Amino acid sequence: MPRYQKALFLFNSRAGSEDLEEKLAKTLPILSQSIKVMTIIQTSSVEEATESCVKFSGEIDLLIIFGGDGTLHACINAVAPLKKRPVIGILPAGTANDFSRMLKIPQELEQAARTIAAGNVTEVDIGKADDRYFLNFWGIGLVAETSQNIDKDRKKNLGVLSYVMSTIRTVNQAEIFHYEVISEKHSPKGEAVMIMVLNGKFLGTTELPVPSIRANDGKFDVLIIKESNLAAFRELISMRSPNADREQFTELEHFQTSKLKIITSPEKDIDMDGEISGTTPKEITVLPGHLQMIKGMDNENG
């Protein structure tokens, strides 16, 4: 008996387009074994993806997103405000596929399809800032500047390497800004090169060394990097150790909160899951367990 009665399979025609026919041939037969009725829609723009999610979400049990982080971000923003939200499964077909890694979804498409068919579901928090939502991270400073520096043609040809090259260029040009963070228990202020509000722990396929990050604990992990230097890098790496004395850190701050307000001077562009959206100041709130998503069997977050 099928696990799901109705599903929408949404794919970005530009994501992994080189072998698209082969990739669909690998995944669709596996998925169809667990789905009674599956509607397949090919999109070529963010607007099309958003419209399809809104149109079908009230009718389906499962939304399968075949695409990268950009397609996922668009779909999350379409689904999050709705009263009826389907279970979401990710078939990773982009460059980084960061939140699928957080959910321990296999990066090989055939195995990812089997994971979705198995239907192991977990509740996932999301962040909200004004009327926009993010699943993986909200960031300003170095992270937003890195996103803006990525060459689209180079990203297409070099994939993850393009993030590395962009980061190297951006670190050399990192601008210090003044900040004030107002939260429930911790309200630091000072100068920084980057502030990240984290719900996921992967960025450009790299796992951040912050063990406390969970996607379903009702909290953000806030990371403030004060300088783009070797000392900051060493402090960040040391966070992996349970014996790290964070009170001795001089180049970064880390704390958890469920809501916060960030004020900067000058105003800073905001990066939400790799998409530039708005400027500071901004109030950010976590919506606990707002989505149900398919996870890998080895996932620690469920």
Residues 150 and 61 placed together within one structural domain of the fold: no
Is 129 within a domain? no
Residues 146 and 263 placed together within one structural domain of the fold: yes
pLDDT 10s digits, 69-93:
889 999 999 999 999 999 999 999 8
pLDDT 10s digits, 253-275:
999 999 999 999 999 999 999 89
Residues 141 and 108 placed together within one structural domain of the fold: no
Look at the chain and report how many structural domains it folds into. 2
Short-list 85, 84, 118, CA closest to 103: 118
Residues 178 and 47 placed together within one structural domain of the fold: no
- Where does a domain end: 95, 119, 143? 119
The CATH number of the domain holding residue 88 is 3.40.50.10330
Residues 100 and 230 placed together within one structural domain of the fold: no
Catalytic residue positions, numbered: 275
Domain that holds residue 70: 4-119
Short-list 89, 257, 251, CA closest to 176: 251
- Where does a domain end: 85, 119, 153? 119
Residues facing residue 183 across a β-bridge: 260
DSSP 193: S
pLDDT 10s digits, 137-181:
999 998 887 766 555 554 444 344 444 444 545 555 678 999 999
Residues 204 and 91 placed together within one structural domain of the fold: no
